Structure 1
């Protein structure tokens, strides 16, 4: 048992020390010291206009991502509870989501034009 614990400790110590000994530290220059902001140039002003269409697509993605998380347990719920009530609940939930998708489609939020 003591041999096993000492081996675990030795492996953990090696895993912490090997990256420190093998890493090459580049000289710090302006490019390495500047922050990387997902494709935005950090040297320009931060008040550049943000694409509203990109924001709407991100919000729609989040809404439908949560919708999938809510729809996944529905078969288990239908198996455990009254089928008529859960069917009405699922149908109303899907209708609300479909009306929301139709509303977004009519307003042109799903058109990705450059």
Structure 2
């Protein structure tokens, strides 16, 4: 018979938030990369700055959500998850724009 461990699911979710933050870091660095090309247009440099601001927001939200999962019982993170999804969609749009410039 399996033993239920309600803390294990919160731990797995916390680790998933950490992995998501690491992948957001990779995406942000790839999005900012065109700004370091010689003669990069101002729009690309501003887009890279916007990407870094979005990255900072994503990392802050992931940190907040991970700490919300430490509490017992874990606090729900409806607004955090929604904000994270919106910023991630913004990253997709920004990346598309930067690639097409």
Band the TM-score falls in, shorter-chain normalisation: 0.3 to 0.5
- TM-score, length basis structure 1: 0.41
Higher relative contact order (CA 8 A, sep 6+): 2
Larger Rg: 1
Higher helix residue share: 2
